[in-house]
Amino acid sequence: MEQIQMTLPPVNLDGTGLHVGIIVARYNWEITGHMLSLAHEELLLLGVESHRIQIYSVPGAYELPLLAQALLKKEHFDVLLCLGCVMKGATRHDVIIGDAAGQGLQRVALDTGIPLIFGVICAENQQQAEERIQRGQECARTAIEMALLLQNR
């Protein structure tokens, strides 16, 4: 079988002029606080001006979709990063919260046409969550890429 050779164009992540919102869950703040710092730092490195980054907080990951929806009704954002951390406990609560947050954010994104970046770590334990803190930086890069993709359509 013949392999198809594909060359993807380079991705230019220039966030100049973009208006970016970050919503961070305070629950598991020792994780989400680091994610927020990494995301904010990466956005600045990618050219987003600090005055064009707005940060909001909610109690936990479950509340992310509602605030995202409310913000997009009142203000213009090119993209929203939604950061949270849900860890496994003695019950299935973590699965319910993670699923609700993911499905809620997806619905808001599809309803509004504005990219919402799912930066919710779903981990078995503290160590797994700590190993995934870099997700904050990855989400910032994804946010700029998606905002630019949709801006050019």
Residues with catalytic annotation?
93
Q: Which residues contact 34 (CB under 8 A, 6 or more apart)?
A: 133, 136
Name the binding residues: 27, 61-63, 85-87, 90-91, 118, 132
Task: State how far the Cα of 19 lies from the Cα of 65, in Å rounded to an integer.
Answer: 19
Closest to 86 (Cα-Cα) out of 128, 34, 43: 128
Name the binding residues for (2S)-2-hydroxy-3-oxobutyl phosphate: 90-91, 132
User: Which helix (H) or strand (E) element contains residue 77?
Assistant: none
Q: Which two tokens stand for residue 117?
A: 């970046």
Closest to 112 (Cα-Cα) out of 69, 53, 64, 56: 69
Q: For residue 81, which phi and psi values (nearest 5 degrees)?
A: -95, 130
